[in-house]
Amino acid sequence: MFCRRVLPFLAAGVVLAGLASAADASAAGPPQRDLTVMSFNIHHGGGTDGVVDLDRIASVVRANHVDVVAMQEVDRHYSARSGWADEPAELAKALDYHVVFAANIDQDPPAPGKPRVQYGTAILSRYPIVHWSNTLLFRSPDQEQRGLLRADIEVQSVRVSVFDTHLEAYSTIDRQTQALQVADLVADARPSILMGDLNAEPDAPELQPLFGALTDAWPAAGTGPELTYPAEGPVKRIDYVLTGPGAQPRQCTVVTTNPVASDHLPMACQVTVSR
């Protein structure tokens, strides 16, 4: 089942100077591009101080010069907790980025004429998003619906598949099944980057299929403290950047630019991608 509710892409563009000549490019092999990516569970914009402030979320992305950010726990006209805001659109406008949003929870409006009540994940990109889809993942009847959002992003002639997910928090069986699904769904993409809140630590058995299919960027390129949750006094790493074929992590950090902005600390990585 696919959710294909597309928000308008917002104008954004970066032109990098100094491109090599065709002859130089041929001699150097396949084209490579460097990206800064971030996984950020934004807790519907709610900070550890109890204040919902999307400007703080945007400022964290902006301060770290992020090209592509995968967000989890994003509200779209969801409830009074976030002022019934269209959070993906507001964040994209604040950053002047392209955006796609996946409504893993999609409910009828509270009243006639009101927008649908939605909650899920979003990918925001400095570069154009040329295609996207959302696959709903397995869930037990008493658990929250989860999904895998995919955005194919055109980074100066290199098309990168970026995936965003938020696995089940309270059922190991669900999380294990979802991890197997995700590993299968990302298998054919190249170059590929998977980001998200996986709700388990790196040694969790249910995550091992993902680590068999993809590279956990932190052991490969992480520097500094690795813990991401909770934001104030973190005790575990449950937020990830994973890279697939054609994507090489260069440096990863847990971002502490504004630890009050959400209940998770985001993880940012510099990644080199090639066709």
Please enumerate in sequence order all residues whose Cβ is within 8 A of that of 201, keeping only pairs 6 or more positions apart, or say none: 236, 237, 238
Dihedral, CA of residue 153, residue 158, residue 159 and residue 160, to nearest 10: -70
| Stated pTM of the model | 0.90
Q: Exposed, middle or buried: residue 59 (CB in 10 Å: 0-12, 13-18, 19+)? A: middle
pLDDT digits (tens, 9 = 90+) for 94-104: 999 999 999 99
What mean pLDDT is predicted for residues 82-97?
A: 98
What the chain holds in terms of domains, given with CATH numbers, is 32-274 (3.60.10.10)
Average pLDDT, rounded, for the chain: 92
Provide the pLDDT confidence category of residue 24 given band limits of 50, 70 and 90. Answer: very low
**226 CB neighbour count, 10 Å cutoff:** 18
